[in-house]
Structures are given as C-alpha cells and as structure tokens.
Amino acid sequence: MAPAQAAAAATGAVVGLPNFADLVDQVGPAVVNIRTLERPKSGRMGAQGQIGEEEMQEFLRRFFGGSLPQPGGKAVPRGRRQTPSEEPVPRGVGSGFILSADGYVMTNAHVIDGADEVLVTLTDKREFKARVLGADASTDVAVLKIDGTDLPFLTLGSSDKIRVGEWVIAIGSPFNLENTVTAGIISAKQRDTGEYLALIQSDVAVNPGNSGGPLINMRGEVIGINSQIATLSGGYNGISFAIPIDEAVRVSEQIKKSGKVTRGRMGVKIAEVSKEVAESLGLKSAQGALVSQVESASPADKAGVKPGDIILKFNGTTIKRSSDLPRLVGSTPLDAKLTITLWRQGKQIELPISVADLDGEKQVKAAGKARSKDDAQADKAAAHLLGLRVSDLGAEQKKELRLAAGVLVDAVDGPAADAGLEEGDVLLQVNNTEIRDSRQFHAVLAKLDGKKPVLLLVRRGEQSQFIPVRPAVK
C-alpha cells in the first residue's frame, strides 16, 4: 500500500474526490423547505417580493429568503391598501431539518422571525403547518413542531470533533429551489462572529434560502446549521458560516423544555488582551479577557471585579480569548456558585461569584470635565514626560462614574496624543498602580524610568482599556 493510501486508511480520510450520491439519498428526505406567511397589516402598501432597506441590510448579513415570489402566490397590486381580513401572503423562504420521527424541526431563528404562519414541506411534497416552540436570537436557533409520525430524521454528530479540510455538504432551498445539494470543505472550526458562538466556516456554496439547512459530514451526521454568509452582494462568495450543532442542541433542549433560553451573565464588558498589555502587566502570554466595564449591582460588581482586571480562568477553565468568557458564562446554570481567577496589579487572585440572568445592561455615564488646581511644577513635568495635564475628579463626577479614584485628563499632547489618549479620559492606573488623585499621579510619574513604556489604564465613556505610552526623552 502506498504511503498516502496508508495514511488515509489510518485516519479514515477519503482518497480522491468523493461521490455524494448515496449520502444525499440517505439524508435528503429529512431536509425540509420552510415558507413563512404574514398577515397584511392595515395601511401597509406594496407588492409581494419587494424588499425594504431594513430587510436588505438583513439580507446582506444573513440568509434572507423573502425576495422571490412563491409558486402560486397572489401578488398584491401596487398601491392597494391591504386589510387585516385578507389572507396571509408569502413572506420568506428558508430551510430546516427534522430532528425526530415525531416531528421536531430545527432551523434558524431569523427564518421564522416575524412570521404569522410557518409551513414545512417535505421532499415527498407533504406540507405541514408548524408550531414555533421557541427561538433564540443570540444563537439564531429555532425549534418547530409538526404533527407527523414515522418521519425521516437526521442523526446529529459532534461539532467538537470536526477537522479543518474534511468534506461536508449542505442541503437546502436557495432561492426556493428545494433540496439543492452543494459540497465543499470545512475552512475553519472557530470563527468569532458572534457574542456566544464560534461558528464553523466552510466554502460550501450557500445562498439566500439555505438558512436553517444542515451542514452534514461524510457519515451523514449534522455538524452545523447554515446561518450566515460573508458577502457584499447577497450571494455566494466562498465563505459561509454554520452554527455548531453541539451548541444548537443545548439551545433546542431548553426551548423544548420551557419555550425559551436562559443564559447566565456576569455583568461585565470585555476586550482582548494585546501582546503589549500582557508584557507590561507581567503576563506570560496574551490571553484572558480584559474587563473594560462592570455593571452596577451585577454578579461581577458584587464579587469585587474591577475595570482593568484580566479574567484568566472561569471556574477553572482557562480563558484563551476574550470570546471564550461569555460562552462559558452563558452555558453556566443560573445562581451557580463558582470562582474566577483574575490578574490584578501584578498578582493572581481568586474571587467567588454567582451567575445570574441579567435582563439588561446598565450604562455608565460619561465623565465630566471639571478641573481643580494641581501643583504647577509637577504638572509641567508630567506634560513633558507623557504629554498629559490632569486634574482631580469632583465628588459628583466620581459618583456618576462609580469611581473611588482616578484623575481627569485636561489636555493631551506629544506621546499621549500619539498613543490615542483624549481630553476627557479618566486615568485609573499607571503601571499597575491605582491612581487616587493628581498629586499621587505626579509622584508616580516622578519615579518612572523614562526609557520604558508606561502602561495607563484609561476610562473613556463606558469603557476602560490599557494604553501603552512611550515617554518623551527626559
């Protein structure tokens, strides 16, 4: 046996181009066409098939299949006023697949969003009116129920076990062309395109109407739900994204149980940890999640998390990228008691925290610009070293910002301006040292090595971030 063939046999890889015919025969009957209907609203003008500006923006971002007339659909004459008593008109088209023989169907949340009626059509032309059990916009997953027995259904695989480069197929209804099959390979396993999901990227041809259809491996298992495209024209550009089936199943189980999805939150806004920030703070590698804002009265606030902290671990799981954190928190049961590991002022600390279901995010008001008098000589030295002039925060400003310390940036020039600081920013830390007032700020600057970059923790509006500044030569 040739080396290449031996390696392929050992890994289970396919030698040469695969034939998908048997695979399509196996899985095709369980893939469904989904049509949505809408009851005309009083006073609404237009004709079937017209797309407004808002819908077009959604079309460019996701698969939106409402632009083509449906077979047998009734066109509403242009300019005619519709009334609520008229029959529902076609609104959109998408895809889905059957999860079980008793009629559970999975699709995208955006496929059925806003629909008054949902119709599911099988490959044998049987049509069912579906009940929407629930939908989760954050993950773009929806679960429907049709009344049927002994229905064809698909086997679910594991998206955690997929490999970049393996063959996959997509089946759906692009442009309402039912049971269209396209093939390609997995291009990447984890693309950060959403808050809660790292999506599967593939080069499988998908177009409007493919939304909600399955991404299937060579064993006939569903590994993802086709959900998004990267395009400027609204059509296939060689880059498409699918929701990992492991996450979709977790969401669907909650929907089937309660009709909704509850998701834990800590109450923080986060950012990536850059290489420069990691080096300045003494971290071995650029990983973790940088806390830029803490919501008032949130679990993070109650636990003592502060802006500028870097979350390294969540309940023992290492945070490699900032996007890892919301996914871990989101999948944690509400009110669970756990610990987070932080990097703060050169030390690693652990804090107990409980996860809650937060309904909204409270906004932190922007800083004002009140000034107070500083020591003139120290202020001049700071202006020369970093290009900054600062003043103390007033009591009212501290109350509005929920800060116990910090100084207000009154003017920016030279190195600070080059680094991106702006008038109105609030300085919270200098090289891991918390700044209480302008006098301490100047004292800290006086001890700096003017040849090394200075790491400033800066608050701007609602966000906090580390900004490295290279001082001017003394």
DSSP E strands: which ranges in 163-287?
A: 167-172, 180-192, 198-202, 214-217, 221-229, 240-244, 268-272
Residue 266, helix vs strand vs coil: coil
Among 126, 119, 172, which Cα is nearest to 149's?
Answer: 126
Q: How far is CA 101 from the centre of its chain?
A: 32
110 in catalytic set: yes
Q: Which residues contact 395 (CB under 8 A, 6 or more apart)?
A: none
User: Exposed, middle or buried: residue 279 (CB in 10 Å: 0-12, 13-18, 19+)?
Assistant: middle
Alpha helices in 386-456 (DSSP H): 395-401, 414-419, 438-446
Instruction: Decide if 432 contacts 345 (C-beta within 8 A).
Output: yes
Query: What is the rounded distance in angstroms from the CA atom of residue 326 to the CA atom of residue 194?
Result: 10
Measured CA to CA in angstroms, residue 422 lies from 455, 457, 460 at distances of: 15, 13, 9
The whole-angstrom separation of Cα 426 and Cα 145 is 53
From 67, 136, 140, 391, the catalytic residue: 140
Contacts of 140 (CB under 8 A, 6+ apart): 62, 108, 109, 110, 225, 227, 228, 243
CB 73 within 8 A of CB 35: no
Catalytic residue among 67, 95, 110, 280: 110
- Pairing mode, strands 127-136 and 117-121: antiparallel
Q: How far apart are CA 279 and CA 286, in angstroms?
A: 8
Which member of 211, 292, 322, 438 is catalytic?
Answer: 211
The structure tokens 């300045």 sit at 280
Q: Active site includes 140?
A: yes
Which is it for strands 337-344 and 240-244: parallel, antiparallel or unpaired? unpaired
CA distance 394 to 273: 31
Q: Three-state SS for 236?
A: coil
Catalytic residue set: 110, 140, 211
